[in-house]
Each structure stands twice: as structure tokens, then as C-alpha cells.
Structure 1
Amino acid sequence: MQAKNYAVALIACGFLALGLEAKAQKIGSVDTAFKWIGPDHKIVVEAYDDPKVNGITCYVSRAKTGGIKGGLGLAEDKAEASISCRQVGAIHFVQALKQQEEVFNQSLSILFKKLRIVRMVDLERNTLIYLTYSDKLIEGSPQNSVTAVPVDRQTPIPLK
């Protein structure tokens, strides 16, 4: 009976974590390996609009595991990801920014592994830096990718 309750609690935590994920717009994907059963392994490209900075979009490419586990949403995706953030319109700050804060996260497995995007502010250069990495409850990955978006000096970055 305890094992059943533990499994139900883990599944509930997984659904709660899914509800807190960033909303990504899928841009496209390419297959990297054919799978006889279930979807192929892929590299997916997704776009994330910065929720506190209008006019900046981050594009993230990452591996997506296919096969039976991938098709059922039970596979753990690899930690590798690449990020490129760009100014796609006039930059407007919705509110003052923290020096460093997580702006997006997305689940890479049914439980406990997330892809994270952190925004940092370089006031001296009036630049926004975005870092992507993955972590797990116990141990994350040192693999990461970074990109920077310079902001026109006439638009100072507001800090909290």
C-alpha cells in the first residue's frame, strides 16, 4: 500500500511541475535517429519570449528522446542545449529586473530534471545575458550555453 501511495505522490509532483513550465512555441525539429516503435529522436527548436522584457525572444535547441519511452513522455532528455536570444522588436521593460533570475524552465523528464534559462544583467555594458543549463534533484549537468543581448544605452536597464 505504501508503494502505491508513493507512486501516486510522485505522479502528482510531476503534474505540478508540468504546470509551472514555461510556455514555449515550437519552431521546428529535425530527426536524428530512426526508431522502429514510437517517435524518432529529434532536435527541437523552441522560442521563449522574455516575460519581463518585451522585444526579446530566446531560441533554444535541445535533444528530445523518441522511442516508446519518449512517445509516452517517460524518457529523460539529454542535458545538452543551445541558446540564442535576440532583439525582435522595440525593447520595453515590463518591470524592474533582478540582477539574476530564472525566467524559464521546462521539464526534461517526468520527474526532477529541468532545462533552465537564467537572465543576468550586466549594467556596465547595458546588456542582458541569458544562460541555459539543466539540473536534477540530485545532480545537474555542467553543460551550458550563453548568449547576450546588448540594449541601446538610451534605454537603461532598470534594476530592483
Structure 2
Amino acid sequence: MSAWRAWAAGAALLWAGAALAADGEKIGTVDTAFQWIGRDHDIIVEAYDDPAVQGVTCYVSRARIGGIKGTLGLAEDRAEASIACRQVGPIGFPKAPLKKQEEVFSERMSILFKRLRIVRMVDAPRNTLVYLTYSEKLIDGSPQNSVTAVPVDRATPIPVKP
């Protein structure tokens, strides 16, 4: 019975992680290494619209492993990513107020417990949204990260939860 409970707990954890996942809109890819079988190693660029901030899109680039394992989704992608978030329209806060710090996107990078995460932080004194990307693994994550900021016009104060 304990094996069943462990399996159920693992399934629940995977389901909870999937609930936070957001699929980015693929902007493009560039090949970095040819593979005889399966897709090539590449770098993918995806766009993610912030679900709580209207008018902000984050562009994330990351490496993907190709070959047989990569094509089947069994490879563990490298823990390197870059992020650039930009104002792409009038900024609004339809789900106001925002948390001071909140994970806004999460995407699977391997079949087991490795995720790319994007966290939004509010720098209220400067009226700026700061976005951080990093990877997390169940046992050990990576210290590699990338950060970007989107200043918001002072005429539009960022609503923050107390």
C-alpha cells in the first residue's frame, strides 16, 4: 500500500506542476548542432504574455537537446536561459493587486522534475516590474539565471498586495 501512496503523491506533484505550466508561443529556432537521428540541437525563442500584467511580453531563449532522446522528450535540457521582457502595449493590471513576488511561468525541461521558471518581482519604489528566469531541479537547481526589467510609467502605479 505504501508504494501506491508514493505513486499517488508523485502523480499529484506532477499534476500540480503541470497546472502552473504555461506554453510559450514559439517565435523561432536556430540549429546549433546537426544530429543524424532525431531533431538537431537548437536554441528556441518563445514569447510569454504576463497573465496578470496586460501589455508585457517576456521573450525567453533556451537550448534544447536534440537526437533521439530530445525528440522523444527524454533528454534533460541545459539549465541555461536568457530573458527579455518588454512593454508591447498599454500596461494595465486586470488582476490587481499583484503579489510582491510571484511565479508567472513554468515549463518542463526534462521528463522528471526539472523546470524553467520565471518569477515576477515588483520594485515599487521605482515602479518597475523585474522578471527573473532560472531552472529548478528536485535535487539541485542551477545558479545560472537571467534578469530583465520593465519600467512602468509613474502615471500608472503598480498595485501591490500589502
Deviations 1:60-103 (A, max 9, x none): 00001100000101110000000000000000002210111100
Q: Which residue of 2 aligns with 1:134?
A: 135
1:93 and 2:93 equivalent? Answer: yes
C-alpha displacement at 1:9, in angstroms? 6.2
Q: Which residue of 2 aligns with 1:124?
A: 125
Pick closer, same or farther for the CA change 1:156–1:143 going to 2, 3 Å: same
Give the unaligned 5+ runs of structure 1.
none
Q: Which amino acid aligns with 2:81?
A: A
In structure 1, distance between residues paired with 2:48 and 2:143: 22
Q: Which residue of 2 aligns with 1:45?
A: 45
Q: Which residue of 2 aligns with 1:110?
A: 111
Deviations 1:86-134 (A, max 9, x none): 0000000022101111000000001100000000011111000000000
Pick closer, same or farther for the CA change 1:26–1:11 going to 2, 3 Å: farther
In structure 1, distance between residues paired with 2:11 and 2:120: 29
Give the unaligned 5+ runs of structure 2.
none
Identity %: 69
Q: Which amino acid aligns with 2:49?
A: D
C-alpha displacement at 1:56, in angstroms? 0.1
Q: Number of residues paired by the alignment?
A: 158
Q: Which residue of 2 aligns with 1:73?
A: 73
C-alpha displacement at 1:23, in angstroms? 2.1
Q: Which residue of 2 aligns with 1:83?
A: 83
| SS at 1:70 equivalent | helix
Of 46-55 and 9-18, the range deviating more from structure 2:
9-18
Answer yes or no: is the 8 Å Cα contact 1:56–1:88 preserved in 2.
yes
Q: Which residue of 2 aligns with 1:57?
A: 57
C-alpha displacement at 1:24, in angstroms? 0.7
Normalised by the size of structure 1, how large is the TM-score? 0.91
Answer yes or no: is the 8 Å Cα contact 1:10–1:111 preserved in 2.
no
In structure 2, distance between residues paired with 1:40 and 1:9: 36
In structure 2, distance between residues paired with 1:10 and 1:38: 33
| SS at 1:124 equivalent | helix
Answer yes or no: is the 8 Å Cα contact 2:20–2:105 preserved in 1.
no
Q: Which amino acid aligns with 2:126?
A: R
| SS at 1:152 equivalent | coil
| SS at 2:70 equivalent | helix
C-alpha displacement at 1:21, in angstroms? 1.1
Answer yes or no: is the 8 Å Cα contact 2:31–2:42 preserved in 1.
yes
In structure 2, distance between residues paired with 1:9 and 1:68: 30
